[in-house]
A = this chain, B = another copy of it.
Amino acid sequence: MRILVTGAAGFIASNLIPRLLNRGDVVAGIDNFFLGKRAYVVQHENFTFHELDLLDLDGVIRILEEFKPDRIWHLAANSDISYGTKYTDFDLKGGTLVTYNVLEAMRRTGVKELVFSSSGAVYGEPTIMPTPEDYGPILPISLYAASKVACETLITAYAHNYDMRAWIYRFGNIVGPNPTHGVIHDFVLRLRDEPTKLTVLGDGTQAKPYVYVEDCLDGMEFGVANAPGHVNVYNLAVDDQTTVRQITDWTIEAMGIDRGKIDVQYGDSPRGWRGDVPYVKLDTSRMTKLGWTPKLSSNEATKRTIREVVEQFREGPLK
């Protein structure tokens, strides 16, 4: 198969692309290196990389016309909620407009299949937990999540009007090697530079389901192979949750820092930043019914990732 991956130098795509290549797919990738890192770009004879901002619609169309993908994995996105609250057009451009461009380029060049990474943040602060895919009302509290909803609805409308198929995955927190952001990434880099002090956003009680990236990709691929619908929407999560306090403790331990010699400062409220949803629990039963369950629990995924990222960033952050 010929597969185009957006956000190709980012966290999830850089874990996906080797899997696709290993099974014989021919892959092209696009990234603008806003969040993505040059160190994460895969080198392989069946992989072509394009440095491009997806806001350039003509550029996207040109790549689709040349590469003629059978399917697109659209993984490019801002993933920093508080950045999007500060720069209010960031998710609008980097999420909504970019997704419009991908869909419009698909329509104009006849590409029919899209895999999309959405987020459990679309549910806002739901009154039902674990939250199922059919939950309503959809009232997100961050511009990041608002953009994910906007992308989802662009996808459903394009699918209906232009005969496309789509798989939309609403992620829990995905963790694993090649991080570009997130709590583990930040803690490891900050503790490396300053092992005697750690300031934590929020009071540490935030509890969310952390999914190991290989599980995430297994689940996405299982859904693409087995979900029967025209537009398929699945939560992709695990059933347990890990707290920020646990991640703090485990990271300090994995860095070999003496707990007695570090001053950890927690915030006063559970919400780490405006727009953050501190307690997330996603209903995973739709995915289970389809026949797929993750291998690692949230705590296992978190611990393993901490070990891997401590190792990966031993010499400092990658470029």
A-side residues, CB < 8 A to B, are 85, 88-89, 92, 96-97, 100, 104, 107, 124, 133-143, 145-147, 149-150, 152-154, 156-158, 160-161, 231, 233, 274-275
Contact = CB atoms under 8 A, between A and B. Distances in A.
B88 A150 contact: no
A133 B89 CA distance: 28
B137 A96 contact: no
A275 B160 contact: yes
Nearest to A135: B136
Copies of this protein chain in the complex = 2
A157 B138 contact: no
Rank and list the top 7 A-B pairs by shortest CB-CB distance, nearest first.
Answer: A136-B136, A150-B150, A146-B153, A141-B160, A146-B157, A139-B156, A149-B153
B233 A139 contact: yes
30 contacts: A88-B107, A89-B100, A92-B96, A92-B97, A134-B137, A135-B136, A136-B136, A136-B137, A137-B233, A138-B149, A138-B152, A139-B152, A139-B153, A139-B231, A140-B153, A140-B156, A140-B157, A141-B156, A142-B160, A143-B157, A143-B158, A145-B157, A146-B150, A146-B153, A146-B156, A147-B153, A149-B153, A150-B154, A160-B274, A161-B274
Give the residue among A124, A142, A156 with the most B Cβ atoms within 10 A.
Answer: A156
A157 B145 CA distance: 8
A104 B88 contact: yes
A275 B161 contact: yes
A99 to B, nearest CB: 10
B156 A153 contact: no
B92 A124 contact: no
A100 B92 contact: yes
A161 B154 CA distance: 24
B139 A138 contact: no
Contacts of A231: 139
Contacts of A134: 136-137
A275 B157 contact: yes
Contacts of A138: 136, 138, 149, 152-153
Contacts of A143: 154, 157-158, 161
A153 B154 contact: no
Given A137-B136, A146-B153, A153-B139, A161 B85 contact: yes
A68 to B, nearest CB: 21
Give the residue among A85, A96, A141, A160 with the most B Cβ atoms within 10 A.
Answer: A160
A156 B124 contact: yes
A230 to B, nearest CB: 10
A156 B139 CA distance: 6
